[in-house]
């Protein structure tokens, strides 16, 4: 990229230097000698000033374009990486949604199993609970004697 920069920059500088060297400032304006053609061009001072300002603006814009080319390249690569990451994030979001649906389904299934267990195994009555407590106490004291 730097080669292209110099390929454009050096001829522009050479043209500017050539115009300054060949200019004869008179009262009416500038006289430019076109060396290989053996002819002269007269340009008004204000017109020459506008041309030089335009030339400087264009030269500055070209310099700016070349100076920011690495930044533009980095931005393009970041955009590509961003697109890849966005696609990956969408896939992960879909996976999370599927997992949440599975969790909800498993929770509902567990509730149904609890209901079925409660139906198949009814709660012991108060009499059964007291009998189990008495049996546990007897078993506790009987182990201590041995």
Q: What is the torsion angle, in degrees rounded to the nearest 10, for the CA atoms of residue 132, residue 138, residue 144 and residue 146?
A: -110
Least confident of 33-42, 65-74, 88-97: 33-42
Mean pLDDT of the chain: 84
**For 108-146, what is each residue's pLDDT tens digit?**
999 999 888 888 887 778 888 899 999 988 887 776 554
What is the reported pTM?
Answer: 0.44
Count Cβ neighbours within 10 Å for each residue of 94-115 and write b for 16 or more, e otherwise: eeeeeeeeeeeeeeeeeeeeee
Task: Give pLDDT, residue 1.
Answer: 62
Using CA atoms, how far residue 85 sits from 80, 82, 99, in Å, is 9, 5, 21
Q: Kindly state whether residue 81 falls inside one of the protein's structural domains.
A: yes
- In a domain, residue 56? The reply is yes
Q: What is the pLDDT of residues 68-90, one digit of tens each?
A: 999 999 999 999 999 999 999 99
Q: Is the dihedral of CA 56, 61, 62, 68 positive or negative?
A: positive
Who contacts 43 (Cβ-Cβ below 8 Å, separation ≥6)?
A: 29, 30, 31, 32, 51
Higher pLDDT, 18 or 70: 70
The answer to the question of residue 43 being in a domain is: yes
Is residue 17 assigned to a domain? yes
Question: What's the pLDDT at 82?
Answer: 97
Q: Which domain holds residue 110?
A: 75-123
User: Predicted confidence band at 23 (pLDDT cuts at 50, 70, 90)?
Assistant: low
- The structure tokens 């195994």 sit at 121
Residue in this structure with the two tokens 């041309």, named with its chain if needed: 51
Q: Are residues 13 and 62 in the same domain?
A: yes
Give the whole-number percent of the chain exceeding pLDDT 90: 35
Query: Computed from CA positions of residues 19, 20, 21, 27, in that sequence, does the dihedral angle turn out positive or negative?
Result: positive
Question: Do 33 and 85 share a structural domain?
Answer: no
Task: Give residue 107's pLDDT.
Answer: 94
Residue 16 lies in a domain: yes
């Amino acid at each position: 990229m730097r080669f292209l920069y110099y390929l454009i920059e050096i001829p522009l500088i050479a043209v500017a230097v050539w115009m300054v060297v060949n200019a004869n400032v008179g009262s009416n304006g500038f006289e430019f000698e076109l060396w290989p053609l053996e002819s002269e061009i007269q340009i008004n001072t204000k017109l020459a000033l506008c041309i030089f300002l335009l030339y400087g603006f264009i030269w500055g814009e070209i310099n700016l374009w070349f100076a920011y080319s690495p930044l533009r390249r980095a931005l393009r690569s970041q955009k590509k990486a961003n697109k890849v990451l966005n696609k990956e994030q969408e896939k992960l979001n879909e996976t999370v949604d599927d997992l949440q649906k599975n969790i909800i389904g498993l929770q509902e299934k567990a509730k149904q199993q609890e209901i079925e267990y409660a139906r198949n195994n009814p709660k012991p009555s108060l009499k059964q609970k007291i009998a189990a407590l008495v049996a546990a106490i007897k078993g506790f004291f009987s182990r201590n004697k041995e």
